[in-house]
Amino acid sequence: MRGETHTDTRMKAYILVEARMGKAGAIASAVHALELPRGTLLSADVVTGPFDLIAAVETSDLETLMASVTDRIQEIDGVLRTITCVGGKPVA
Q: What percent of the chain has pLDDT over 90?
A: 59
pLDDT digits (tens, 9 = 90+) for 6-16: 445 788 999 99
DSSP state of 9: -
pLDDT digits (tens, 9 = 90+) for 27-38: 999 999 998 878
**pTM higher than the cut 0.75:** yes
Domains and CATH numbers, the chain: 11-86 (3.30.70.920)
Q: Which of 29, 21, 75 is nearest to 52 (CA)?
A: 21
Class of residue 67 by CB neighbours under 10 A (exposed 0-12, middle 13-18, buried 19+)? middle
pLDDT digits (tens, 9 = 90+) for 60-89: 888 888 888 878 899 999 999 999 999 876
